[in-house]
Amino acid sequence: MTADLHAAAKRCLDATDPAEKLRLTHAAWEAFLAGELGPDAASPAPEPIGAPGRPERPVLVPQRQVPHRGLGSAEGRAALVHAVAHIEFNAINLAWDAVYRFRGKPLGYYRDWASCAHDEARHFAMLSGRLAELGHAYGDFDAHNGLWEMAEKTAHHDTARMALVPRVLEARGLDVTPGMIERLVSVGDDRTVAILEVILREEVAHVAAGTRWFRHCCERDGLDPRETFLDLLRDYMGRNLRGPFNRPARLLAGFDDEELDRLTELAMLS
């Protein structure tokens, strides 16, 4: 008998200890692959969205209050690694919430987001290991909650969730990571560079999953994907869109040239 994937996703979401969240995430993915977990139409309806399980630290502050540090010191590099680790920790929760919250999807949808959670957990583990090498741990630096705030705003609307979390907020990682890598190369931090190169390569597939299921939602509802995406950007983000965009990576992740041209125009107006 197949166990309830939605309930397993909720257990992963609710886990507050990072090590336990990673353990549950990897176990759920392996059980899904083995056919032991699957979506269950009889699963209780999802609860209203709230804060996911997370440790007491890091302290969450407004984004503008997160200090920017240079990469010339070990402390500055640790702060950067911590910031990326925090994004990956949030991304585990975002992937599981996509599994838990949105019901009645094709099996491929649940496979994509359970796989994404598994990848993000690996990324978080790699970054946590690097933080330890730099004399720090997850929670040592303040962080912001922007990714999860967008999850809360889109909890009622699968089309908006697929458009705005993977294709805007997570896709931003495709844009900024090459610059981070370049700066870290310049200060000789090859250990962190190697981790970020893995993350950049694998995040393309996660953004592509967002593209795939966003378009699926649009097709279901008879909507034009390009215009719908731009409408959702305006409705949820106003003029708060930042470029420049990593065009090659975004094309691999399912964006098209016309869409990227429109995004570039919008960013110039922001």
Higher pLDDT, 62 or 161: 161
For CA atoms 176, 180, 185, 191, give the dihedral sign: negative
Domains of the chain: 79-269 (1.20.1260.10)
71-91 average pLDDT score: 94
Q: Residue 166: which of 243, 75, 97 has the closest Cα?
A: 97
pLDDT greater than 90 at residue 69: no
Q: What integer best gives the mean pLDDT of the chain?
A: 95
Which of 1, 9, 89 lies closest to 49 in space, CA to CA?
9
How much of the chain exceeds pLDDT 90, in percent?
A: 90
- From residue 127, give the alpha-carbon distance in Å to each of 91, 107, 121, 133: 14, 30, 10, 10
Coil/strand/helix, residue 62: coil
Task: Please give the share of the chain, as a percent, with pLDDT higher than 70.
Answer: 99
Q: How far is CA 133 from CA 127, 137, 185, 192, 244, in A?
A: 10, 9, 18, 10, 32
Q: pLDDT tens-digit profile of 144-186?
A: 999 999 999 999 999 999 999 999 999 999 999 999 999 999 9
pLDDT the model gives residue 63:
83
Q: Tens of pLDDT along 211-250?
A: 999 999 999 999 999 999 999 999 998 767 888 999 999 9
Q: For position 66, what pLDDT does the model report?
A: 82
- Separation CA 56–CA 36 (nearest Å): 33
Q: Does a cis peptide bond (omega within 30 degrees of 0) precede residue 58?
A: yes
Residues constituting the chain: 270
Residue 189, pLDDT score: 95
pLDDT of residue 179: 95
More confident call, 154 vs 1? 154
Residue type, 250: R
Q: What is the pLDDT of residue 239?
A: 67
Question: Stretch 245-270: mean pLDDT, rounded?
Answer: 93
DSSP string, 189-228: -HHHHHHHHHHHHHHHHHHHHHHHHHHHHHHHHT--HHHH
The pLDDT of 86-107, averaged and rounded, is 97
Which residue carries 């960013």 as its tokens? 267
Tokens of 47: 């609860």
**What is residue 266's predicted lDDT score, i.e. its pLDDT?**
87
The closest of 238, 239, 243 to 260, measured between CA atoms, is 243
Determine the pLDDT at residue 73. 86
pLDDT at 1: 64
Helices (H), 134-170: 146-153, 158-164
Quote the pLDDT of residue 2.
84
Convert the pLDDT of each residue in 29-45 to its tens digit: 999 999 999 999 999 99
Residue 67 is predicted with a pLDDT of 78
